[in-house]
Amino acid sequence: MMHLEGLRDLLDRYDELKLAILGDVCLDRYFEIDPSREEVSIETGLKVYNVENVRCQPGAAGTILNNLVALGIPEIHLIGFCGHDAEGWQLRKALDQLKGVQTHHFLTTDLRKTFTYTKPLLCHQAKPPQELNRIDQKNWTPTPPEVSEHLIKALRATVTQVDALIVMDQVDIENTGVITKAVLSELDKIQQERPEMLIMSDSRRSLKSYPPLTFKMNASELGNWVGADRALTPETVAEHAVNIAKSLRHQVFVSMAEHGILSAHPNGQTAHCHALPVRGPIDVVGAGDAVTANLVAAMAAGAEASEALHLAMMAASCVIHQLGTTGVATRDDLLKDLTR
């Protein structure tokens, strides 16, 4: 259990951190709809929603970025790409508003479209927002070699300047995003050359084909990895996580929703932190990314695994209670949560 003074000391060390994110940054675009202004189209006879406000923010790997910015990390290098399109312009504009974010290695290219999640929200009076069907824009073809080459050069130019690297693979189809086979091969080389460097990886598909790095996944992803035919218990999560950590020779972190989060060390040791109690309606979108951001920031600042897990759970609790948005946890939020 972390104490208030210990947390303050750790957060103060964040002021010296330099971190990097390599991954799929998308545009999260929220359409806030006023249901009282609902109409019917004369031309089609279909329901018409009137949008009162549009909010744009970085999503996917950009959600991890948002959380690091909220923690006051003074220097964050972003490696990825967007399209030379309207959505790319909106994403660039949102990135430019984030303090401390270095985007000189973030590529705008005609060879890719901007990965975009458009989220229509019905904003009722005195009720949580209701999200309608999401509208996605994705790349369905392999990432061109010249884009991968740019990413690899950017990665090489960045790793010597930072304390830790976060790798976030958000695409549904392998090799269509930032984390291509060529990029993974380069990450393998970098980790072997710099074994002391924290490189934490997360993938919405699977980390099974990844080189040995520090892995972060959820219990469902771990279950798919080991071929489990039923939901894993916290005890079986620990057993499988230890086995993977030993084979990787790197730590493994597994989030388990209401059961909290667990870390496994290659030496067989584990640490566990319980989830915080729910305080009302929740929205779990973005909680995993808040966990990743807080784990890496804490560990890069010298926290013990148990301390990093506790911070990650506090951040997740803060984020899930922010409705109708992909939220973040600030330093003040973490300090308040510890004294709640």
Q: How far is 167 from 216, CA to CA, in rounded Å?
A: 10
Average pLDDT (202-210) is 94
**What mean pLDDT, rounded, does the chain reach?**
93
Distance set, CA 288 to CA 41, 137, 145, 283, 314 (Å): 40, 22, 30, 12, 12
Q: What is the Cα–Cα distance from 199 to 150, expressed in whole angstroms?
A: 20
**Distance, CA of 205 to CA of 317 (rounded, Å):** 25
Residue 269 has pLDDT above 80, yes or no: yes
Q: How far is CA 328 from the centre of its chain?
A: 11
Q: Look-up: residue for tokens 């130019």?
A: 157
Task: Give per-residue burial for 320-331: e unless 16+ CB within 10 Å, then b.
Answer: bebbbbbbbbeb
CATH architecture designation of domain 4-26+59-114+139-338? 3-Layer(aba) Sandwich (3.40)
283 — pLDDT class (breaks 50, 70, 90) = low
* pLDDT category of residue 281 using cuts at 50, 70 and 90: confident
> Taking each helix axis from N to C terminus, what angle separates 287-300 and 61-70, rounded to the nearest 10 degrees?
50
Mean pLDDT for the stretch of residues 214-224: 96
Please state, in angstroms and rounded to a whole number, the distance separating the CA atoms of residues 288 and 257.
9
φ, ψ for residue 40 (rounded to 5)? -120, 130
Query: What's the average model confidence in pLDDT over 254-270?
Result: 95
Q: Is the pLDDT of residue 226 over 70?
A: yes
Return the exposure string of 175-185: e unless at least 16 CB atoms fall within 10 Å of the residue's CB, then b: bbbbbbebbbe
- For the stretch 160-184, pLDDT in tens is 999 999 999 999 999 999 999 999 9
Confidence at residue 292, expressed as pLDDT on a 0 to 100 scale? 96
| Residue 105 clears pLDDT 90, i.e. is over it | yes
Question: Alpha-carbon torsion 59, 309, 237, 277, what sign?
Answer: negative
Amino acid sitting at position 81: F
Question: What's the whole-number mean pLDDT along residues 293-320?
Answer: 92
For the segment 46-73, the average pLDDT, to the nearest whole number, is 96
Between CA 94 and CA 168 the distance in angstroms is 19
Name the more confident of 5 and 266. Answer: 266
Q: Rounded distance, CA 102 to CA 158, Å?
A: 11
CA angle, residues 276, 278, 284, in degrees to nearest 5 = 95
pLDDT of residue 340: 64
Q: With H, G, I as helix, E, B as strand and everything else as coil, classify residue 50.
A: coil
Is 270 or 338 the better-scoring residue by pLDDT? 270
**Is residue 1 very low, low, confident or very high in pLDDT (cuts 50, 70, 90)?**
low
32 alpha carbon, distance to own chain's centre = 24
Q: What pLDDT shows up at residue 262? A: 97
Q: What is the mean pLDDT of residues 107-132?
A: 94
Q: Is the pLDDT of residue 188 over 80?
A: yes
Radius of gyration of the CA atoms of the chain, in A: 20
Position 229 scores a pLDDT of 87
Whether 114 has a pLDDT exceeding 80, the answer reads: yes
- Residue 205 CA to residue 128 CA, distance in Å, equals 30
pTM value is 0.93
Residue-level pLDDT at 5: 84
